[in-house]
Structure 1
Amino acid sequence: MQAMFLRAAALWALAAGVPAANAQTVWPNGAKAAVVLTYDDALTSQLDHVVPELDAAGFKATFFLANVAEGQVERWRKVATGGHELANHTIFHACSKASYPADPRYVSEAYTPASMLREIAQQNVLLHALDGKSRHGLATPCGQSLAGGTDYLEDLRKANLVTYVRGVVDTPADARANVAKADPMHIPSRGFGEGATAEKMIAYVREAEQGGGWAVFLFHGVGGDYLTVPDAEHRKMLAWLAAHRSEVWVTTLQEALDWAKTHPGK
């Protein structure tokens, strides 16, 4: 899984681009930056550790669901009821066959752009059944947007199936300053996994504060599963965010984008 993540990062380093900003986003209540916590793959450790910790701190996050286990459907519905954002990560999480061993039916080479968009549309149906919402964002599997060797992002944009696409590579701080200028099909993020510490995560937030923009975190496992952030470090980071509520606005990815659209930079 670590190799998968590194390959995905390399692909997005080439593909993702957010135009440089010339102004800062004005966040609610004078916050210096927005913090968006996103979690991929509908993992059990997120239900067992992350959701209770977020709820205890009073924070809302974004969960990109793929391969949802039948026995966890009601748990994810409860996550949505609790005010967290559920978002699209496709149904089968098809990455390139070079990323990691997978069923050959569910590698991106076996898809076409049309079949990938159909799968995304079908996942939206599941999400609607869970949260009752008619619009959802997307994180591409492994940060890759190829289906049968063809990039499908422009087709996805035209189809209007999702409100945004989150990638797996971050952009420089100055390019994150004015969120309203971000291309919704190329939302950056910074991944944290094995070896992540609260200090590194807090430093990312401080970087966003200096630019007046946002810090979009990408997590997988927390205290379990894979690409795992230690639960203790994750809790320390949340405690720091709770102690600095006047400085940072912790919100979902969709809410941050919606706010930025209606509150232009200064």
Structure 2
Amino acid sequence: MAVVLTYDDALDSHLDIAIPQLNERKLPGTFYLSGARPSIRMRLHEWRRAAQHGHELGNHMLYHPCRKSLSNRSWVKPWQDLDQYTLEQFVDEVQATNSMLKAIDGREQHTFAYPCGDMTAGGEDVIPELKKLVPAARLFSADGQHPISDGDFYRLASFDGAEKTAEELIAVVEAAREGRSLVSFMFHGVGGDYISVSSESHRALLDHLAAHPDRYWVATMQEAVAQLKQEQARQQL
């Protein structure tokens, strides 16, 4: 069963805590980078090193744009407001972020995570254009499960790990194993920053995954999606 560990917003705690914990257990993570974040400017060589160690760098756009019109979005600045974006502007920003990521990791393709889970720009659905630009896109959901039979790779589920205990995180993995589903986690801060999971809970989840390689295949999002597509193609033969 595939497990994908994803981390949003290019935070310092990813470089300081999450990646060292992953590396210690030889587990890969998928890090969705927003290009305007300070760590991209100040710690670029560390992100490049992370990619060299097998972690995926994914597309979270340059400015992390979100829809300001939705509730609890007073923090969204006018120039970040997806409601005011045109679809062309959205596409340009995704393409620019892909170019930035290629300059860091040398890879041609990068998966995508919707900032704030928002899927429209200026009121228009972005998925038809995203399908031309990225191989898959991640949302979030209550259980983080994506059924193996589900061929929609532009609404990939993920479970929000913020403020969860180790027991709660491990229970999500076990539930997905029983349902034979791909399961993804979405983290922001790890032991710091914001919307955080404690470093202890994060470490305990990784220890559980690393202790049971017969049960879990911990993969990057790109690896997991490629394997799912192959399985679905075989089933259609």
Normalised by the length of structure 2, the TM-score is 0.91
User: Do residues 119 (structure 1) and 93 (structure 2) align?
Assistant: yes
In the alignment, which residue of structure 1 is the partner of 2:103? 129
- 8 Å Cα contact 1:142-1:168 kept in structure 2: no
The one-letter code sitting in structure 2 at the alignment partner of 1:137 is T
Gap regions ≥5 residues in structure 2: none
- Shift of the 106–203 alpha-carbon distance from structure 1 to 2, 3 Å rule, reads same
Q: Report the equivalent of 2:213.
A: 245
**Is this contact kept in 1: 2:144–2:157, CA < 8 A?**
no
Cα RMSD over matched residues?
1.6
**CA distance, structure 1, for counterparts of residue 138 and residue 90 of structure 2:** 16
Whether the aligned pair in 1 keeps the contact of 2:58 and 2:111 (CA below 8 Å) is yes
Equivalent in the alignment of 1:106: 80
Match of 2:155?
186
* 169 and 55 in structure 1: CA distance in 2 versus 1, 3 angstrom threshold: same
Q: SS of the residue aligned with 2:152?
A: coil
Matched residue SS, 2:6? strand
Runs of 4 or more, structure 1, over 2 Å off, are 170-173, 263-266
Q: Which position in structure 2 is the counterpart of 1:30? A: none
1:171 Cα offset (Å) = 6.1
Percent identity between the two aligned chains: 38
Q: 1:78 to 1:187 in 2, by over 3 A?
A: same
**Could you tell me how far apart the structure 2 residues matched to 1:263 and 1:143 are?**
27
Q: For residues 70-121 of structure 1, what are the alpha-carbon distances to aligned partners after superposition, in whole Å with 9 as ceiling and x for unaligned?
A: 1021111111111100000000000112424133112112211110010000
Q: How does 1:1-266 map to 2 (within 5 A)?
A: 33-66=1-34, 67-69=36-38, 70-97=41-68, 98=70, 99-157=73-131, 160-170=132-142, 176-178=146-148, 181-194=150-163, 196-264=164-232
- Deviation per residue, 1:123-150 (Å, 9 max, x gap): 0000000110011111011000121222
Separation in 1, partners of 2:121, 2:9: 19
Query: Normalization by structure 1: what TM-score?
Result: 0.82
CA distance, structure 2, for counterparts of residue 46 and residue 171 of structure 1? 23
Q: Deviations over 1:193-220 (max 9, x none)?
A: 02x0111111011011101122110100
Q: Which runs of 5+ in 1 are unaligned?
A: 1-32
* Higher RCO by CA contacts (8 Å cutoff, separation 6 or greater): 1
CA contact (8 A) 1:137 1:254 kept: yes
How many residues are matched? Answer: 228
Q: Any idea what SS the aligned residue of 1:214 has?
A: strand
